[in-house]
Amino acid sequence: MTYFTATASPVGKLILTGDGVNLTGLYWNDATPPAGAAEDAGPFAAVLAELDAYFAGELTAFTVPVAPHGTPFQVKAWAALVGIPHGTTISYGEQARRLGVPNASRAVGAANGRNPVSIVVPCHRVVGGNGSLTGYGGGLERKKWLLDFEAQRSRAAIASGS
C-alpha cells in the first residue's frame, strides 16, 4: 500500500509518500500523490518529527528509512548524497569521483535531479564545479535557502562549541 500526507515547511508545502515503513518520496507543493495512494499521516510520524527538528535547527542528519525507486546508478548516486555533511557542499564532479566514475558529473547531475526524497537525501548540497547553484527540483530559490540555513546552523554550532 502507498500512503501520502502533506505538511507545511519553511520552504513550502511538502508532499510525503511512503510504503508504511519507508519514505519513498518527498516532493514540493506542485506534486500529486500516486494514483491509489491513501492519505494517512500516521506512517509519517517519524519523518514529520525529523523534518520539524531539521527546520528547528536541531537535526543535521536524517535517520528515517528511505526507499527511493530508481535505476541502479540513481540509487547509488542518491546513497552517496547522505554522506555529504550538513552545512557543506561538494561539486557534481566530486560526487562522480566518490562514486568511482570521475567523468560522469553530468550523469550524477541527472540522477540527483531525479532524487525523489529531497531534503532527507540532500541533493541540495551538490553545486557546480565553480560553486555556483545549478539545478534543483525544488527550484534554485529553495536550494539557496536550504544551503544558507544549513551554513548558518553550522556556523552557530561551531561558535557555541557543539
Q: Which residues are catalytic?
A: 123
Let me know: does 120 contact 26? Beta carbons within 8 Å.
yes
Measured between alpha carbons, how far is residue 4 from residues 28, 31, 98, 147 in Å?
Answer: 13, 11, 33, 27
Strand partners, 117: 26
Measured between alpha carbons, how far is residue 124 from residues 36, 39, 134, 162 in Å?
Answer: 30, 27, 9, 24
